[in-house]
A and B are shown apart, each in its own frame.
Chain A
Amino acid sequence: MGRIKPSEELRDLVYKCTECGNCAIACKFLGNLEPLEIIMRLREKLVKAGFGPMPKQEEYIQSVKDFNNPYKEPHENRTDWLPKDIKIDSNAKVLYYIGCTSSYRRKEMAIAAARIMNEARIPFNILYDEEFCCGSPILRTGELDTFKQVLNRNLDVIESKEIETIVFSCAGCYDTFKVDYPLYRNYNFEVLHTVEFFDKLLENGKIKLTEKIPIKVTYHDPCHLGRNAERYEEWDGEEVHIMPLITMNIPPKPKRTGKRGIYDPPRNILKKIPGLKLVEMERIREYAYCCGAGGGVKSAFPEMALDTAKLRIEEAEDTGAEVIVSACPFCSTNLQDGINSRGSNLKYYDISELLLMAMGLEPEKLKHILSEVD
């Protein structure tokens, strides 16, 4: 580093970014400028210089090393979420990768996803005690060495099985497997988020929606599922000096513009739920406002994460919706914190929970939600 030496002050600024990627998709005007990658490289530099990650993030990285999850939860409790009546097929070609947050904190997401797959008669397997943290929270802090170890271990485990498709209900795990893993190591399976998977199942009639949910819902696009879920395209061109001071990428270098994020599948699902009305917020899809939890900000700067969530909740309230829905356990936690802190009347549900209710599999919950929004 040049003019400014690495310091705690610098660290505190650099780590306040949620790495939501909005800057990167809003600014593709100049040559090779990639603002999000600048932040990521800066974090890697701070780690190398001994100043990053933030102390709270170091704690959870250590927890991943010790417990295989960032929450210091015993590894043997990883499948505690799994209800007895869920059928798991150890020969299935579909793997459901639950992720740490859905396993320990947002179990309702894991349960809903598993029940939907059972009901649709999709055989699926899980990794039980061979499932570890995907590495996302580590990667985002710039701690590349540990991330690479985690990545290699995960891919070794998965490749030892005959898996064709991995389904994720966690947007963070999904993004990490889909976009980040291939930058370090290629693999030969398909990765899908549950919203993509369930959208297809609805399309081909494997999921049937029987219940009416007459409520107004707004959908929050998680950054990991939206603009950041766009793979880097390979480019082996070169920067050519075409005249003094002017260089050009030949052939043109593909840019990640955010438009290939997963935006329609969740909306398709919601629109198919009988009686449900989808009302959109002002900033959606690749221009969605971040919930505030990403990039390790929720643990390092909880106040800032909460303030951001409150802004997003205010935007959701403005739509007149009764319920805000998303598809990411981090957004879930932070937006619910935002709702509570604002004293908002909005209710939060994961999209798979709503789907489950519309399938008639959660009559009690459905009754509850209807009474709540009455």
Chain B
Amino acid sequence: MLQKQVLENFQKIVGPENVDDSEVMTNAYSYNWCMEFVNSSEGKEPIPFSSIPKAVILPSTVEEVQQIVRLCNQYKIQFKAQSTGLGPWNQPSSENCVILDLRRMNKIVKIDHRSLYAVVEPYVSGAQLQAETMKFGLTVHMPGAGPQVSPLASATSMNGPGFTSPHTGHSARNVLGVEWVLPDGEILKLGSVGMKNDSDWYIGDGPGPSLRGIMRGWAGAKSGIGVFTKVAFKLFPYPCSTKFKLSGNSPDYEFEIPDYMKLYVMDCKSYSHLEKVFLAIEEEEISFICSHLSGYGLGAIFSNSIGSLMDKIPIAGMLVPLVVLIAARTKREFEYKQKVMSKILIDFNLENVIGSKYTPNSLFYAEALRSNLGLHGFIATGGFQSSKGQCDTVKVCVKTTKESIPLKKKYIKKGVIGNDFGEGVWITSYESGHYFHIESPTMFDQTDEKSVKGMAENMEENYQFDLLKHLGAPFFVEGDKMHDLFGPEMMNYHIWLRKIKKAFDPNGIADSGFYISAK
């Protein structure tokens, strides 16, 4: 709870109905996905709650955010911002923190369909923006978390791979102009939107040195370096006809598959073959989705319940599957892409099982267009989180997959994580094979203490394993402990990150529990 005077001052900024410091509300904001095993790793009770925020504040404009941040500085209270609130690490890491829930900032500010970018506020979801951009034959990059999350949060603050990454890239690389409230309350505008004259959102660099890297680096600062209130990012051609006709009921929706879409699922049979096929396909720049999943993972993305997962045994038996979705806007383009795929199938002695041995539900295609496949990770055990998360060459990603199998099997054998035969990974290319991403989705049961503890141990052992084997930094290098573990092995980046934190947040007001402290 806040002291009365402090509460009143926050209320003056946003109105009394937009500040809540009640026990019930603040507890709800301390809940988060995966906090059970984070707590367990830290030797705490394995509950899904973090520290409880002092209050939840709902600003509606950048000026209100600025005033709140200034007040936080005045009272030495930390703040933590969240957009659509699905990401882990959007909760406070200390008891001295208020949550800025940005749900009232929910406008699509601009869609420039000629220059291919959109400008949005934090609470615009990927699905909302996609629905609007589709009117111009365009789409937006959405992280694998799905269409319900904020493209702003992904672009400015957290990770960024998605299922359509071969076509739509990575959130970090799509950022253009940014409006940013720094931890001391100053408003900074990055890129062309910061120009004095004719300011607009079309570029993210300058004036002066580019700050895009400082803003989020690779993994994002998770609110540890201020609050982002508007962002512009690139749009991409919608890959096929924008007709989107869905019918039926959850979870068994039917989708009218648009013309000129074709799915390929091929068994590469060995990891070395997978590596070659990946590169061959991506070199041709034809895929909308190009992902390796394990046989089990394949079953999961085509299923919408545990019952239907069990029907997928025929495809789940594949050894090293590769999923490729091609889509086109004209017959000619479609024929060309199919021809290329046919040649690759012959060259690499592959068979496409789709249409012959297996036909997925039509819903798969809708979920592919909407980047909604990550959700399927929850079907089997009710919970999952990924270890790994590296971005590197396809070679490193495949090596990571192969070498990590025995480690995963060890935890499967203990019965604490779900059985995917140790092979359960997701590898995707970005930007037509420019580089690749690997993560290892790991199923556990959040309601089972043994499973939660096992998952925590599994994550910890994976970190050590990745370091030992030089497999790069995982997704979740969060907080001082992790940065201090990985930094020395990675050109001492953590020293620079601390300098950035110190320069931008001299008073330590932006909650850095999942970023880095200036210490």
Given contacts A244-B415, A246-B381, A257-B249, A29 and B305 within 8 Å (CB-CB): yes
The one of B252, B310, B379, B418 that contacts A245, using a Cβ cutoff of 8 Å: B418
Q: Does B443 contact A (CB under 8 A)?
A: yes
Mark contacts of A15-33 with chain B using CB atoms, 8 A cut-off: 1 yes-contact digit, 0 otherwise: 0000000000111111100
B24 contacts A4, C-beta separation under 8 Å: yes
Q: How far is the CA of A31 from the CA of B445 in the complex (A)?
A: 12
Contact partners of A30 in chain B: CB under 8 A: 378-379, 382
Q: Does A180 contact B (CB under 8 A)?
A: no
Contact partners of A25 in chain B: CB under 8 A: 249-250
Contact partners of B209 in chain A: CB under 8 A: none
4 other A-B residue contacts (CB within 8 Å) besides A4-B23, A27-B250: A4-B27, A30-B379, A31-B305, A245-B443
A9 contacts B249, C-beta separation under 8 Å: no
The one of B24, B304, B306 that contacts A13, using a Cβ cutoff of 8 Å: B24
The one of B23, B252, B379 that contacts A7, using a Cβ cutoff of 8 Å: B23
CB distance from A285 to the nearest CB of B (A): 10
Contact partners of A65 in chain B: CB under 8 A: none
CB distance from A238 to the nearest CB of B (A): 14
Q: How far is the CA of A13 from the CA of B23 in the complex (A)?
A: 12
Given contacts A245-B444, A245-B445, A28 and B249 within 8 Å (CB-CB): yes
B378, closest chain A residue (CB): A30
Contacts A/B (CB < 8 Å), 21 sampled = A3-B27, A3-B47, A4-B23, A4-B24, A9-B22, A13-B24, A13-B25, A28-B249, A29-B375, A31-B305, A244-B415, A245-B381, A245-B416, A245-B417, A245-B418, A245-B445, A246-B306, A246-B418, A248-B306, A257-B252, A258-B249
B24 contacts A10, C-beta separation under 8 Å: yes
Given contacts A29-B304, A31-B306, A244-B419, A286 and B249 within 8 Å (CB-CB): yes
A27, closest chain B residue (CB): B250
A2, closest chain B residue (CB): B47
Contact partners of B304 in chain A: CB under 8 A: 29
Q: How far is the CA of A244 from the CA of B455 in the complex (A)?
A: 14
In the complex, which of the residues B251, B416, B443, B451 has the most CB atoms of chain A within 10 Å of its own CB atom? B251
A29 contacts B307, C-beta separation under 8 Å: no
Q: Does B134 contact A (CB under 8 A)?
A: no
Contact partners of A28 in chain B: CB under 8 A: 249-251
Q: How far is the CA of A4 from the CA of B47 in the complex (A)?
A: 14
Contact partners of B63 in chain A: CB under 8 A: none
A29 contacts B250, C-beta separation under 8 Å: yes
Q: Does A259 contact B (CB under 8 A)?
A: yes
B24 contacts A245, C-beta separation under 8 Å: no
CB distance from A185 to the nearest CB of B (A): 29
The one of A31, A243, A252 that contacts B419, using a Cβ cutoff of 8 Å: A243
Q: Does A249 contact B (CB under 8 A)?
A: yes
B376, closest chain A residue (CB): A29
The one of A7, A31, A257 that contacts B382, using a Cβ cutoff of 8 Å: A31
Mark contacts of A21-65 with chain B using CB atoms, 8 A cut-off: 1 yes-contact digit, 0 otherwise: 000011111110000000000000000000000000000000000
Interface residues on chain A, number (Cβ under 8 Å): 26
B417, closest chain A residue (CB): A245
Q: How far is the CA of A27 from the CA of B25 in the complex (A)?
A: 23
Interface residues of A in 243-302 (CB under 8 A from B): 243-249, 252, 257-259, 286
B22 contacts A245, C-beta separation under 8 Å: no
A247, closest chain B residue (CB): B306
The one of A4, A26, A248, A286 that contacts B310, using a Cβ cutoff of 8 Å: A248
Contact partners of B250 in chain A: CB under 8 A: 25-29, 257
Q: Does B448 contact A (CB under 8 A)?
A: yes
CB distance from A230 to the nearest CB of B (A): 11
Mark contacts of B371-401 with chain A using CB atoms, 8 A cut-off: 1 yes-contact digit, 0 otherwise: 0000100111110000000000000000000
* The 10 nearest A-B residue pairs measured at CB: A257-B249, A244-B415, A28-B250, A245-B381, A9-B24, A9-B22, A29-B251, A245-B445, A10-B24, A259-B249
Mark contacts of B413-424 with chain A using CB atoms, 8 A cut-off: 1 yes-contact digit, 0 otherwise: 001111100000
Q: How far is the CA of A243 from the CA of B416 in the complex (A)?
A: 11
Q: Does B37 contact A (CB under 8 A)?
A: no
Contact partners of A244 in chain B: CB under 8 A: 415, 418-419
Q: How far is the CA of A193 from the CA of B425 in the complex (A)?
A: 52
Q: How far is the CA of A268 from the CA of B426 in the complex (A)?
A: 49
Contact partners of A247 in chain B: CB under 8 A: 306
CB distance from B341 to the nearest CB of A (A): 31
Interface residues of B in 400-418 (CB under 8 A from A): 415-418
Interface residues of B in 82-100 (CB under 8 A from A): none
Q: Does B49 contact A (CB under 8 A)?
A: yes
Contact partners of B419 in chain A: CB under 8 A: 243-244
A242, closest chain B residue (CB): B310
Interface residues of B in 404-462 (CB under 8 A from A): 415-419, 443-445, 448, 451
B49 contacts A3, C-beta separation under 8 Å: yes
Q: How far is the CA of A245 from the CA of B413 in the complex (A)?
A: 12
Interface residues of B in 19-55 (CB under 8 A from A): 22-25, 27, 47, 49
B249 contacts A245, C-beta separation under 8 Å: no
Q: How far is the CA of A245 from the CA of B378 in the complex (A)?
A: 12
Contact partners of A9 in chain B: CB under 8 A: 22-25
Q: How far is the CA of A32 from the CA of B378 in the complex (A)?
A: 13
B306 contacts A245, C-beta separation under 8 Å: no
Contact partners of B443 in chain A: CB under 8 A: 245
Q: How far is the CA of A333 from the CA of B381 in the complex (A)?
A: 45
A26, closest chain B residue (CB): B250
Contact partners of B416 in chain A: CB under 8 A: 245
CB distance from B376 to the nearest CB of A (A): 9
CB distance from A83 to the nearest CB of B (A): 42
CB distance from B422 to the nearest CB of A (A): 14
CB distance from B295 to the nearest CB of A (A): 15
Contact partners of B307 in chain A: CB under 8 A: 248-249, 252
A245 contacts B375, C-beta separation under 8 Å: no
B415 contacts A245, C-beta separation under 8 Å: yes
Contact partners of A249 in chain B: CB under 8 A: 307
A7 contacts B24, C-beta separation under 8 Å: yes
Q: How far is the CA of A330 from the CA of B23 in the complex (A)?
A: 33
Contact partners of B444 in chain A: CB under 8 A: 245
Q: How far is the CA of A10 from the CA of B22 in the complex (A)?
A: 9
Q: How far is the CA of A245 from the CA of B420 in the complex (A)?
A: 12
Contact partners of A248 in chain B: CB under 8 A: 306-307, 310
Contact partners of B248 in chain A: CB under 8 A: 259
Q: How far is the CA of A252 from the CA of B310 in the complex (A)?
A: 12
Contact partners of A252 in chain B: CB under 8 A: 307
Mark contacts of B198-233 with chain A using CB atoms, 8 A cut-off: 1 yes-contact digit, 0 otherwise: 000000000000000000000000000000000000
A259, closest chain B residue (CB): B249
Q: How far is the CA of A78 from the CA of B332 in the complex (A)?
A: 73
Contact partners of A242 in chain B: CB under 8 A: 310
A30, closest chain B residue (CB): B378
Q: How far is the CA of A170 from the CA of B250 in the complex (A)?
A: 28
Mark contacts of B45-72 with chain A using CB atoms, 8 A cut-off: 1 yes-contact digit, 0 otherwise: 0010100000000000000000000000
Contact partners of B448 in chain A: CB under 8 A: 245
B248, closest chain A residue (CB): A259
